[in-house]
Chains A and B, each alone.
Chain A
Amino acid sequence: MRDLIAEALDKARADYAEVRLEKVDASGVSYRGEKLDDIGSSRTVGGIARAVVNGGWGTATFNDLDSIGRRVAEACESARLAGKEKTCLAAVDPVVDESPAVMEKDFRAVPLSEKKALVEEYNDIVRGCHEKIETTNVAYNDRFRSVWFGNTEGTFLHDERPDVGVSLSATARDGDNVQRGFESQAGVSGFQVVEGLQEKARAAARRAVDLLSAPPVTGGRYTVIINPRLAGVFAHEAFGHLSESDFVYENERMKELMVMGKRLGPEILNIIDDGTVPGQRGTRPYDDEGVRTRKTHLIRKGVLSGRLHSRETAAKMGEEPTGNARAIGHQFQPVVRMTNTCIEAGDSSFEEMLSDVKLGLYALDMVGGQTTMEMFTFSAAYGYMIRDGKVAEMVRDVVLTGNVFETLEHIEMVGSDLAWSTGGGGCGKGGQSPLPVGLGGPHVRIRDVVVGGRQG
């Protein structure tokens, strides 16, 4: 592969060019209700050639590896047509490295029959948990991605990226009332990650049933405590995307809005992105431009202190590259993305957070989140009212929304119980989804949060 890439790049006529080749082996098993819904496997091979000339980028993606030389030439031609300015890329030392996968139990060696048996067992648990469980959706997926990367500066990398996960979804029904309970588990260290999830299967089923009798939350403004998983989503969705420099680097207004040193929240607030946390799904030694990953403080003591970069955004903003240019597959060019994002631990206990809340909401886990930079919205999987300092009845349809900047200012307390999420899912941006990311945080208390729902 290295020779193939080197030979193709030799003929590149561009300010800079790179080739990434990928081979992905994936398999999946899913059940819906009592039936096996899908079982199968896939193999994809392909590549992307990317070149920059006078600041304009050209890319060519392909499945046919024999055409690699032609595709590099095509990318260079496209770049020449697009380029009208000056190429700016942050300097990075060339590196040659290999990063093989380390798995305790290699899922590629597990026969499809065993994967099927595991999913069937979980599915039976969810189905058998309660008579009101109407249907289920239990899925296993694994993906082993081998990537070869080379560029015209002499960098050559080969790395392997395993990812395996199980999602457990239960649908309960009572007349017209249909509710879902959801749990997931995903990781990079092998098949054992998804073994022994019987208790999670039961939890998903019980939650769906419990939600049947939970009333929808009454819309309005509340003091809200979010659990660690939701805090991770908050760090990622509500704030993290604003730290991605491709939204900022050529946008004077956004630069003013996101100027370093600006106070965005209270002293107790620290948010980081860290591509080096061992065992997390967003962890890589290098990003998809061959840049070393690192830990970046986005907010330190409530003050904007860093942002995420590709080589181009770093050069244009005169900042250090951070190793955050990531692509989900060979059909895509790398764009600035988060790796593992978390709100760092504070010093409040959960009990302290609850104690002086007369009427509030405890929101847990998530079933989705979205942002338009300024506005965010995310849906908690479930929640509980807080009444007179105590966790009270369960409520459903908990959707939190608001202006990012106001909400950051409204953070009142940060818990000491930091946890990284072990769930699956991923991030979407620019048509690239899902990208494996890590999410973490402690319990966090925020005042005056708008909670969607009907009027009381």
Chain B
Amino acid sequence: MTVRDLVEMAMKRADGAQATMNRVESANVSFENDRLKTIKSAQSSSISLRVVVDGKLGSSLTTDLEDRQGVVDRALEAAEFGSPVHFRFPGPREVPAVKVFDEAVTSVTREEMVRLGEEMISMVKEYNPDILLGAGVSRSVSRHELANSAGTVLSEEATAFSLGVHGQLVRGTDILWAGHGFGWKKREIDEKDVAARAIDLFRKAERTADVRSVDMPVIFTPEGVSVLLLALRLGFNGKNVVLGASPLGGREGEQIANESFSLTDDPLLDYGGGSAAYDGEGVPHRVTPLVEKGKVKNFLYDLDAAGRAGRESTGNGIGCGSTNLVVAEGDVPFEQMVRETKEGLLVHNVIGLGQGNPLSGEFSVNVNLGYKIENGEVVGRVKNTMLAGNTYEALNNIAAIGDKAEWAGGRLLTPPVKIAKLSVISR
């Protein structure tokens, strides 16, 4: 069955339709408590359908590929009570070139995945045998197909590969968790580099350090930058803008951050975790500048939000979410940032992010893995430390941006960022 057949079936009773099919085959090897624990394989397939009847939208989803009539009937039923649409399904357009398939991923055997996991674990063990370790290695191959009633027919095959190692070190009632992982659409990930980064996090935590409850400079590692970006992810979401929930709505051209700060949504980075040639509505992907030299440039729209805002879809459907976020590089080497900090924090990850009122930019989080900086040196791990502030204030108070961007996870490419002053509470 093809997605085109489904669109045809739906069009007997609908004014517009879009069908997508997604098939994924994946394998995963996981280590727990220093040993190989589970080997998984997964096959999944799903089809989803959106129909427009009398200007109203309905959708349905199924994983039962035989249930064609069912998925059509349920989408049509939903459309009867559906929300008014503010768009038309787009006709055929050329999609950009972006690499999302790596042949090398498809030939990785389960034995090879086991070996990669064992290697990462033994490297960290060599550094400290007391760390109890887990590791994971995954690969997947997927095929996405899309067709709509305006004649668009698209398909894309993609691969994904990821490696990670994490561990737990218990000393008395002190439990330290740390680890590193990375995933993207390419096989090329150096297991030694992943393990070395995990070791570095443990090494910096060998000692603990006391922190005073005062305002102080905070350096966010590339992973830590997520703390600052949550409010922006939500604020640049076109749906939040249309609904008036985003504090950035209507502020295009306004300065919201220091001039050193630029942020882009880029789905066209080869092999990026969020990369693809087109979005979930068949709109070709494009690069969208969000913040340029501190000024609001664009928001992210899908077809419906764009229709409601009187704009054009930026290819962020369905849902107006970001693809890969890219923070522009600055000019200060990370080492210099640390060296120039008399008393401050280096924050790698936190818990409790997004629990308060993330749209407003306010955050109040517990530092899960963070380090004290004294007189230009990282002196130890901090414990029982809360960090509070507001993203929008922090972005106007940037002390430095690193000169080298790194992937943090698979969908964020950013250098470290130093904020001149944030509130720190400790006991």
Give A contacts to B, CB under 8 Å: 29, 32-33, 35-46, 56-64, 67, 71, 74-75, 78-79, 81-82, 84-85, 112-113, 116, 134-135, 171, 173, 176-180, 216, 219-221, 246, 250-251, 253-254, 257, 331, 333, 367-375, 377-379, 396-397, 399, 401-403, 405, 450, 452-455
Contact = CB atoms under 8 A, between A and B. Distances in A.
A59 B177 contact: no
Contacts of B239: 32
B356 A379 contact: yes
A375 B366 contact: yes
A67 B43 CA distance: 10
Contact of B359 (A41, A178, A333, A402): A178
Contacts of B384: 375, 401-403, 450
A319 to B, nearest CB: 17
B114 A37 contact: no
Contact of A401 (B62, B67, B366): B366
A350 to B, nearest CB: 25
A343 to B, nearest CB: 21
A43 B62 contact: yes
A36 B82 contact: yes
B169 to A, nearest CB: 8
B243 A39 contact: no
A450 B425 contact: yes
Contact of A81 (B43, B71, B77, B114): B114
Nearest to A59: B40
A251 B132 contact: yes
A43 B351 contact: no
A374 B386 CA distance: 15
A178 B360 contact: yes
Contacts of A171: 245, 359
Contacts of B177: 372-373
Nearest to A379: B355
Contacts of A78: 38-41, 110
Given A33-B244, A82-B37, A367 B355 contact: yes
Contacts of A371: 351
A84 B35 contact: yes
Contacts of A453: 364, 388, 425
18 contacts: A39-B81, A46-B44, A59-B41, A64-B43, A78-B38, A78-B40, A82-B39, A84-B36, A112-B77, A112-B81, A178-B357, A377-B366, A378-B352, A379-B364, A399-B386, A450-B427, A452-B352, A452-B386
Interface string B41-83: 1111110000000000011111111010011001101101111
Nearest to A52: B38
Contacts of A60: 40-43
A84 B35 CA distance: 9
Q: In the A-B complex, list the 10 residue pairs whose CB atoms are closest, starting with the nearest.
A: A368-B355, A253-B170, A36-B83, A379-B355, A250-B33, A78-B39, A377-B352, A452-B364, A374-B175, A42-B61
Given A116-B81, A452-B425, A40 B75 contact: yes
Contacts of A84: 35-36
Given A63-B43, A368-B354, 9 more contacts: A40-B60, A41-B74, A41-B78, A56-B39, A63-B65, A71-B43, A78-B41, A250-B33, A455-B215
Contacts of A57: 37-39
B38 A219 contact: no
A80 B41 CA distance: 14
A402 B352 CA distance: 12
B126 interface: no
B200 interface: no
Task: Classify the interface of chain A: helix, strand, loop or mixed.
Answer: strand
Nearest to A33: B243
A214 B356 CA distance: 14
Contacts of B389: 454
Interface residues of B, number: 76
B260 interface: no
A45 B35 CA distance: 33
Interface string B410-422: 0000000000000
A253 B132 contact: yes
A257 B213 CA distance: 30
Contacts of A44: 46, 61-64
Contacts of A396: 357
B425 A219 contact: yes
A58 B42 contact: no
Interface string B258-301: 00000000000000000000000000000000000000000000
A219 to B, nearest CB: 5
A397 B245 contact: no
Contact of B74 (A40, A179, A180, A216): A40
Contacts of A220: 425
Nearest to B426: A450
B335 interface: no
Which of B43, B168, B354 is the most central at the interface, judged by chain A CB atoms within 10 Å of its CB?
B43
B173 interface: yes
Interface string B167-196: 010110111010000000000000000000
A369 B39 CA distance: 31
Interface string B187-229: 0000000000000000000000000011100000000000000
A452 B83 CA distance: 41
B92 interface: no
A375 B351 contact: yes
B32 A250 contact: yes
Interface string B345-359: 000000110111101
Contact of B244 (A134, A254, A401): A134
Nearest to A180: B357
A173 B61 CA distance: 35
Nearest to A30: B83
Interface in B337-386: 351-352, 354-357, 359-360, 362, 364-366, 368, 383-384, 386
Contacts of B351: 370-372, 375, 377
A176 B360 contact: yes
A81 B111 contact: yes
B247 interface: yes
Interface in B85-132: 110-111, 114, 132
A42 B352 contact: no
Contacts of A452: 352, 364-366, 386, 388, 425
B40 A219 contact: no
Contacts of A62: 42-44
A43 B64 contact: yes
Given A257-B170, A371-B351, A450-B384, A397 B356 contact: yes
A75 B32 CA distance: 18
B172 to A, nearest CB: 8
A82 B43 contact: no
